[in-house]
Amino acid sequence: MGKINKITLKEAAGLIKDGDMLSFSGFTIWRRPMALIYELVRQGKKDLHLFEVNGGTHTEVLAGAGCVKMWESCWVGHELYGKLGEAVARGQVEGSILVEDYSHAQCVARLLAGAYGLPFFPTALAMGTDILNPKFDMLGKAGLRDGSNPKIPLKKYDTIQDPMYDMGKMLLMPAANPNWALVYAQQVGDEGTVRVLAQTYVDLEVIKAADKVIVIAEEIVPDSYLRDDPAANIAPGYAIDYVIEQPYGAHPTGSQFFYDVDADFIRTFYQASKNADAYKKWADEWIFGVDGFDGYLEKLGANRLLKLKANSVMGYSTTVKRGTR
Amino acid sequence: MTAKNYAENYKGADLLAVAAAREVQDGDIVFAGTGLPMLAIALAQITNAPNAVCIYEAGSIDGRPKDLPASVGDARCATQSSVAAGLTEAFYGQLHNGYVDLAFLGGAEIDKYGNVNTTVVGDYAAPKKRFTGSGGNPDINSFARRTVFIMVQEKRRFKDKVDYITSPGWLIPDWPSGEMKPKKEVYGKFFNGGLSAVITNMAVFRFDEDGIMYLDTVHPGFTPEQVKDNCEFDLNISRCKGVTEKPTVEEIELLYKVVDREGIFLP
């Protein structure tokens, strides 16, 4: 019988050190570990190194608070509810955040290598782009590819001529093995088995690639329930180091079969993310001005959360007003 | 055959969605991004291409959304999908493996070879402004057999040289040397195809044998010269074959009453 190591949001954030490399579950504005993101900001983390296949609202909350030193990814924004990643963009333009761009699938290749214990993974996707321009190897230009940081590869990428079937030139993408995977999953078993509902995004790969894994569970359920349908699970309990049970732990991002994206909340945050003063006001209200995540949920109010509640058959809210009609 | 009943009242975005939908051939396996591409594939599936299937890069394969997704990671993408997986399946199992026939993409800037920038304004090493970044744009554009870009027509966006090549067109740098080569040479045996059309609020563009953009049709109300004036590069308008087919009354009705009945992308 396995067991889970249950901790609080405060304890979880306390485990993460300044300068650590993090990756996340989810996709843009879906299934992000928001409750833990807020706690990282509250605890004033610095110099974080984010590696993620794409960014979203969680990235911007961290970047706006000045927690991020390095961001390796390909995209950041809030989909329909905020078209740019303003805080990352500001950091890149001002030079306070070191940005290393890859393509989406190149980021996936880096995680695949990390997840499967390989030093690199080959791909032919997104060749012939400035992503590969040696002048734009930003971590290299900053002198960070000297091997002194074990989380930074010696090269941004390399090329190889296919030696097997003579397919021609290909790229080799270095493994990404973050210190931490911060994951939000709908269900975690009482022995730690993890299940996410609907699309799996890169959650399987993030969990396997990271040294340590913290999962925020919307609910903890009997492991036997998850083991009745093992094909629907994405990770065994022994791969999970810590579990936090936190209902609504992904808000304002969406969680299939539990709640929809809180579009109004993200729109308001997006406006605030456009300058440092407005961000500070927003964070004072929603992060520092509430008593932890419980205080945040109380401030949101039951009515607001009920409006986001997913239809139990469809998996998303069928009542929330999404457009103009 | 009955004559088509063309709409008299429609918006620019409606024409874009309809023109994009007409690029879908029946049976196509389509990779679509957030926004107008979602309208285009959904409209195509209930009009000219009932057997086309859709893949969203977050991992839903051949979904049959009952309600329009607002983004590619949306729970709604996975409804009735044959497989709800993740990015590894979408990018490697489907795209790298060669299944994808057609993709709809967007961009902030484009040059005459179809190189697209969605990353920065200015020098990447010291940018003036950052956009969202590549997302899956270069991956999808590099391996789909045909790609269609939906863009805003402005002189500052149809440039001689884009500030940063996020997504590969027909003449691209071969790194690490950076020598400009035709896409076919850079991709070797991995070459599947590439950019086939660009649709803007003014016109439809295609690419000639040398991979250079030319004007194919102008939208109703515009002239080829107006379109040329809205390109920084010297646009070839000699092959323009006329006016873009208008949306039909039925297509507009389907767009507003079925595809985007909630008014998410078409307010």
Work out the percent of chain B whose per-residue pLDDT is above 70: 99
B65 interfacial to chain A (CB closer than 8 Å): no
Residue B29 and residue B6: Cα distance in Å, rounded?
28
The dihedral through the CA atoms of A241, A245, A247, A248 has a sign that is negative
Mean pLDDT of A180-191: 98
Residues 6+ apart with CB under 8 A from A219: A186, A187, A188, A245, A247
Task: Based on the residue annotation, tell me whether B250 is a catalytic residue of this protein.
Answer: no
ipTM: 0.97
Give kind and range of the element (H or E) at residue A48.
strand A48-51
pLDDT at A93: 97
Q: Are A28 and A78 in contact (CB under 8 A)?
A: yes
Measured between CB atoms, which of B66, B71, B86 is closest to A79? B71
Q: How confident is the model at residue B239 (pLDDT cuts 50, 70, 90)?
A: very high
Confidence of residue B231 (pLDDT cuts 50, 70, 90): very high
Q: Report how far residue B74's alpha carbon sits from residue B68's, in angstroms, rounded to the nearest whole number.
A: 9
Taken in order B141, B142, B143, B146, the sign of the CA dihedral is: positive
Per-residue confidence (pLDDT) for residue B78, from 0 to 100:
96
Selecting from A27, A74, A130 the residue whose C-beta is nearest the C-beta of B165 gives: A130
pLDDT (tens digit per residue) in B116-125: 999 999 999 9
pLDDT of B33 reads 86
**Each residue of B66-95: pLDDT tens digit?**
999 999 999 999 999 999 999 999 999 999
**What pTM was computed for the model?**
0.97
Say if residue B125 is exposed, middle or buried (CB neighbours under 10 Å; 0-12, 13-18, 19+): exposed
Mean per-residue pLDDT for A187-201?
A: 97
Q: Which residues contact A239 (CB under 8 A, 6 or more apart)?
A: A192, A194, A207, A208, A213
**Beta strands B129-130; A242-245: pairing state:** unpaired
The separation between CA A229 and the C-alpha centre of its own chain, rounded to angstroms, equals 26
CA–CA gap between residue A245 and residue B83 (Å, rounded): 29
Closest A-chain CA to B65: A314
For residue B12, give both structure tokens: 């620019």
CB-based contact B86 A131, cutoff 8 Å? no
Q: What is the pLDDT of residue B3?
A: 82
Distance of alpha carbon A106 from alpha carbon A73, whole angstroms: 9
DSSP SS3 for B150: strand
**3-class DSSP state of A278:** helix
Mean pLDDT, range A278-290, rounded to an integer: 98
The rounded distance, in Å, linking the Cα atoms of A239 and A99 is 30
Set out the domains of chain A in order of their start, with CATH numbers: 9-245 (3.40.1080.10)
What is d(CA A8, CA A216) in angstroms, rounded to the nearest whole number?
10
Q: Is the pLDDT of residue B2 over 80?
A: no
Catalytic residue among B57, B89, B109, B251: B57
How confident is the prediction for chain A on average, in pLDDT? 98
Span B106-133+154-196+212-241 CATH architecture: 3-Layer(aba) Sandwich (3.40)
* A129 Cβ contact partners less than 8 Å away, ≥ 6 residues apart: A103, B134, B138, B165, B166, B167, B168, B172, B173
pLDDT of amino acid A140: 98
Hey, which CATH number is domain B1-100+245-267, 3.40.1080.10, 3.20.20.480, 3.40.50.720, 3.30.1330.10? 3.40.1080.10
A305: Cα within 13 Å, side-chain hemisphere: 14
DSSP string, B92-148: IIIIITT---EEEEE-SEE-TT--EE-SEES-TTS-SEE-S--TTHHHHHHHSSEEE
pLDDT tens per residue across span B183-219: 999 999 999 999 999 999 999 999 999 999 999 999 9
The stretch A123-150 carries a mean pLDDT of 98
Q: How confident is the model at residue B1 (pLDDT cuts 50, 70, 90)?
A: low
- Distance in angstroms (rounded) separating the CA atoms of residues A8 and A317: 29
Strands of A82-211, DSSP E: 98-101, 120-123, 158-161, 169-174, 180-189, 194-195
The pLDDT > 90 percentage for chain A reads: 99
Angle between helices A276-283 and A57-64 in degrees, nearest 10: 100
**pLDDT > 90? residue B21:** yes
- Reduce the secondary structure of B211-237 to three states and give it as a string: CCEEEEEECCCCCHHHHHHCCCCCCEC
Question: What are the residues whose beta carbons fall under 8 Å from the beta carbon of A240, sequence distance 6 or more?
Answer: A4, A188, A192, A194, A207, A213, A215
Confidence of residue A1 (pLDDT cuts 50, 70, 90): confident
The Cα–Cα gap between B254 and B256 comes to 6
Percent of chain B residues past pLDDT 90, beyond the cut: 97
CB contact set of B32 (below 8 Å; sequence gap of 6+): B38, B40, B41, B54, B55, B56, B72, B103, B104
Buried b (16+ CB within 10 A) or exposed e, B14-52: bbbbbbbbbbbeeebbbbbbbbbbbbbbbbbbebebeeb
Average pLDDT in chain B: 96
What average pLDDT does this structure show over B252-263?
Answer: 98
pLDDT digits (tens, 9 = 90+) for A19-75: 999 999 999 999 999 999 999 999 999 999 999 999 999 999 999 999 999 999 999
What is the number of CB-based contacts under 8 A between chain A and chain B? 238
* Residue A279 confidence (pLDDT) above 70: yes
Question: Do B1-100+245-267 and B106-133+154-196+212-241 have matching folds?
Answer: yes
Q: Which of B85, B92, B135 sits opposite A75 (nearest CB)?
A: B135
Element (H, E) at A73: strand A68-73
Chain A's closest residue to B182, CA to CA, is A128
Q: Where are the domains of chain B?
A: 1-100+245-267, 106-133+154-196+212-241
pLDDT > 70: percent of chain A: 100
Residue with tokens 């497989």: B83
Mean pLDDT of B135-139: 97
Identify the closest residue of chain B to A157 by CA–CA distance. B176
Residues of B in contact with A262 (CB under 8 A): none
| Whole-number Cα distances in Å, B94 to A197, B62, B67, B143, B146 | 21, 11, 24, 10, 15
Q: How far is CA A303 from the centre of its chain?
A: 28
